[in-house]
Structure formats: structure tokens, C-alpha cells
Chain A
Amino acid sequence: MGIFPFLVVAWIVVVGLYGIVTSRDLIHQIVCLIVVQSSTYVLLLGVGYVTGGAAPYFFDIPLHTKAVDPIVQALALTDVVVEAAVTALLLSFAVQAYKRFGTLDPLELTQFKG
């Protein structure tokens, strides 16, 4: 395995950024941002993995079984919720942009309008 999980992270970030840069639609751009952000889940869970470790839930496994790091898992959970909140807010910005300018193409949304 080695560094493979971390290469996947880099790949997801760059693919998502490419989408954001080349996108011609705000909704598509928001989805690309979600792709970029989902790289953090792979990174967090990859960093905290311990070879042979169980999930940190001791409901049906003996206490003190070797387990993966619980902190990064909690951080990933936080990450998901924040992503959902940010996405919702961005989508409402897109709705308002469309109402005001009649287009979702970021290249046409270049000037301010009072």
C-alpha cells in the first residue's frame, strides 16, 4: 500500500480543482468543490489508519483490541457536516445569481450589478 492512499488524495484534489477552473456552470462548479473536499476524508482516514486495527467501537469486540485512531474519524464526521452546510449555502448563492443575471455561466458573471 505504502503511499497509495495519499496519491489518491492528491488525484482527487487536482481533478476537483480542474473541474472548478474549467467549469461553465455554477452548479457543476459547486459539485467540483465537493469533490475537492471529499479528498479530506480519504486523507484523514488514511492518516489515522493502523495496520490490522479494528473500528474504534468496543460494543462487540474486547476492550483494548488494537483499533484505528478515533480522532481523525471524528474529524471526518465534522468535515461531512460542514461540507453539507457549505454546499447548501453555495447553492442558494447560485439560485440568487441566476435570478439576478439570468445565467449560471461563471464567465458571464463578471460584473457587479447593484
Chain B
Amino acid sequence: MTPRQRAWFFAVAAAGLVACYLWAFTGLPGFGNYPGPYGQEILRRAVGETHATGVVSTVNFLYRGFDTVGEEFILFAAAAGMSVLLRKLRAERETGPADEADSRTIPATSSAVRIPALLLVGPTVVIGWWLASHAQTNPSGGFQGGVILATAFILVYLSGEFFTFRKLSPVVLVDAVEALGAGGFAAVGLAAVVMNLPFLYNYLPLGQFPGAISSSGTIALISFFVGLEVAAAFVLIVGELLEQTLLRSA
């Protein structure tokens, strides 16, 4: 099929898609008039039942916690799949970081990049942990916090070079943290089953009052494990991709 034929084929298909889509619109409730009772019911009871003021986190880690376990394992499986796909092949060897074209001079990383990047590492870790540990109160949680935590490691790469990044995040350690995060979530859920309660039931004390850091029972604990898992998965993914630049086919 030539590119031109493809474009025509697409134009016809897209026209059909848009037509069906616009037709489907006519049956939707208007913007701002969502009638679904499920969300409103959760809004009505979530804070009283869990003492967590962040209802989105409550939905993620409690009411629909089962979905989130699956979602977390999608990330886990993707990171594992990447490690397998990007492994060192038999015909490849790892080279040093030196450039192979002798005639090319690579300028060293400018201080204007290095110093701000290093200065940002500390605050980034603090913000990441703050987000991962406040799922129960504010718009935050393990997923958001974990990604920001991983950014701290990428700032190290930006400010120095790949080998510092790799020394800071040895694959064995990152793998272990990722497994701990993913397993911890599942273990919190299974502990409820052992206690003869439904999977992921909120069995921990809910704390004194809604909005306190110590409130919400299992929601905060699960968010912590998710933060570990997400941070480790992203460090692993970025590390795997960066490592590719060192591989040469022999």
C-alpha cells in the first residue's frame, strides 16, 4: 500500500469514526450534568468511613483498590518486559562512556546545568516523599510522588553522567525496592483475607479526625508502597534506556 492509498484509507475510516462518535454524543448527558449515582454516593460516605479527605485516593486504594493492584502490576510487568527486551544480547558488548569519534570534542556539562540540577535533587526527594505520604489528605499519592522521586535520580544523571546515576541506583537494589513496593500492596490486601475480612479491607485504625496524617488506615500504607514501586520502576526504565547508549554490536 502506498502512503497515498493509506492516507485515503485513513480519511474514509476517520470520517466513519467521527460520524459514529458524533451520533453517540446525542445520547450523552450534557457537560456538567453527570447523573452517575456511584460517584455521588462515594462522595457522601467516603470521608466518614475512612477519615481520608482525599476521595480520589480513597477510590484508588480502597473502593477500587482491586483495580489498582492490577494497574500496579501492569507497571511492574512493563518494567520487567523492558529489562528482558533491552538485555545485553550475545553479540553486544558494553563500552566505556568515551566518545568513539576521536575528532569530535564533547563539551563538558555546563555548570549552569550541573549546579541547579544538583541543588534540585534534595527538594525533589522531599516533594516526592511528601506527595507519596499525603494521599489521605491532599491531591497526591504514591503514583504522583513515585514519579517525582524517580526524577531526583534523573537529575543526578543530568548533572553528572550515567555512571554516577548507575552507582546511585544499582539494578539489584532498584529491583528489590520495586518488588517490595508491588508485593507490599498485595500483602496489605492479603492480610485482610488472613483476618477473615474481604481483600483490601481497611482494617487499620482510622485515626482521630479526618485530614490528619495518621488518618485513613490502609490507604496511607498502600500509597507508601505504591510510591516505592513507581519510583523504582521509573528509575529502572530510564536506566535501561540510558544503558543502551553504551552497547555496541561486536
**Which A residues are closer than 8 A to B by beta carbons?**
1-6, 10, 13-14, 17-18, 21-22, 46-52, 55-59, 63-64, 67-74, 77-78, 80-82, 84-86, 88-89, 91-93, 95-96, 99, 107
Most chain-B Cβ atoms within 10 A of its Cβ — which of A63, A69, A71, A78? A71
In the complex with contacts A57-B54, A81-B71, A71-B85 CB distance below 8 A: no
Expressed in whole angstroms, the Cα–Cα distance for A18 and B17 within the complex equals 12
Cβ-closest chain B residue relative to A88: B237
Instruction: Report how far A82 CA is from B75 CA in the complex, Å.
Output: 7
Assess whether B30 is in contact with A48, with CB atoms less than 8 Å apart.
Answer: no
Q: Select from chain A the residue with minimum beta-carbon distance to B2.
A: A107
How many angstroms from the CA of A3 to the CA of B165 in the assembled complex? 48
Which of B28, B59, B77 meets A6, CB within 8 Å? B28
Tell me how far the C-beta of B55 lies from the nearest C-beta in chain A, rounded to whole angstroms.
4
Closest CB in chain A relative to B93 CB, distance in Å: 14
Verify B55–A57 contact, CB threshold 8 A.
yes
The chain A residue with its CB closest to the CB of B147 is A84
B56 at the A interface (CB under 8 A): yes
- A64 and B10 form a contact (CB under 8 A): no
Q: A77–B143 contact, CB under 8 A?
A: yes
Q: Beyond A81-B230, A95-B86, A96-B86, is A72–B138 a contact (Cβ under 8 Å)?
A: no
- Bound CA–CA A95/B46 (angstroms): 45
Q: In whole angstroms, what is the CA distance A59 to B34 when docked?
A: 24
Indicate if B115 sits at the interface (CB-CB under 8 A). no
Cα–Cα distance between A107 and B97 once the two chains are bound (Å): 33
- Closest CB-CB distance, A74 to chain B, in whole Å? 4
The answer to whether residues A2 and B75 also contact, given A21-B10, A59-B54, A71-B42 and a CB cut-off of 8 A, is no
Taking A74-B64, A81-B71 as given, write out 20 further A-B residue pairs in contact, using a Cβ cutoff of 8 Å, ordered by the A residue number: A3-B25, A3-B31, A6-B31, A10-B18, A10-B21, A10-B22, A21-B6, A22-B3, A50-B32, A58-B47, A58-B53, A67-B43, A67-B55, A71-B64, A81-B143, A81-B230, A84-B75, A85-B77, A96-B85, A99-B249
26 contacts between A and B (CB under 8 A): A3-B25, A5-B31, A6-B25, A13-B17, A22-B3, A22-B7, A46-B31, A50-B34, A51-B32, A52-B32, A57-B55, A59-B53, A59-B54, A64-B44, A70-B43, A71-B36, A77-B56, A78-B60, A78-B67, A81-B71, A82-B74, A89-B82, A91-B241, A92-B240, A95-B241, A99-B249
- Known contacts A50-B34, A74-B60; decide if A82 and B71 are in contact (CB<8 Å): yes
Residue B168, interface by CB 8 Å: no
Chain A residues within 8 Å of B74, by CB = 81-82, 85
B contact residues vs A (CB 8 Å cutoff): 3, 6-7, 10, 14, 17-18, 21-22, 25, 28, 30-34, 36, 38-40, 42-44, 46-47, 53-56, 58-60, 64, 67-68, 71, 74-75, 77-79, 81-82, 85-86, 89, 137-139, 141, 143, 147, 210-211, 230, 233-234, 237, 240-241, 244, 249
Number of A-B contacts (CB under 8 A): 154
Residues of A within 8 Å of B210, CB to CB, are 58, 63
A10–B16 CA distance with the chains assembled, in angstroms: 12
Is the Cβ of B14 less than 8 Å from the Cβ of A1? no
